[in-house]
Structure 1
């Protein structure tokens, strides 16, 4: 499930992710990406991963399509998580994009928020 959070930056998508991400949820984020790109050149992301179990198959496929279409539109990304595999996923994202990507442990989510809005 993706829960939208209030954002302090107009080009920032802030979400808390738990459970499994569905195709419909990815499509909602995709529409937000388009809205931000109408007025900004890059989209920043603040992801809080808490009790996150991955994607449904259709959700994973949709996320790959969105990322492929917008990878050059992504700016800074802050991943806040609680598991080692989430840190590895953030590092792999950094490898595939020119975005500035950082991982923070869950107890450092305020530090992550400060970094992403600066």
Structure 2
């Protein structure tokens, strides 16, 4: 009985991640854990979604799409990325000019 228990428990336990060369093993166990309180599954799901958005997991999942993206969608996404990048560069330019003026004492 104990030998079968040991065999099954060794299958379902985590591998030893103390060794520095076993990075891939430790990366398999990363993830999001959410505690469900008072059997409130809806609240747990919304909390998990919020964590996924803030940690960037949702973005990684979207980037690894396995299906075809239409050319029209690609154009829309490219235009959005262009506007976002231009807006960011404009903001950086404005902040730089403000900092230069403060340093020079204008």
Tell me which interval the TM-score lies in, with the shorter structure as reference length.
under 0.3
Q: Which has the larger Rg?
A: 2
| Higher relative contact order, structure no. (Cα contacts within 8 Å, ≥ 6 residues apart) | 1
More strand by share: 1
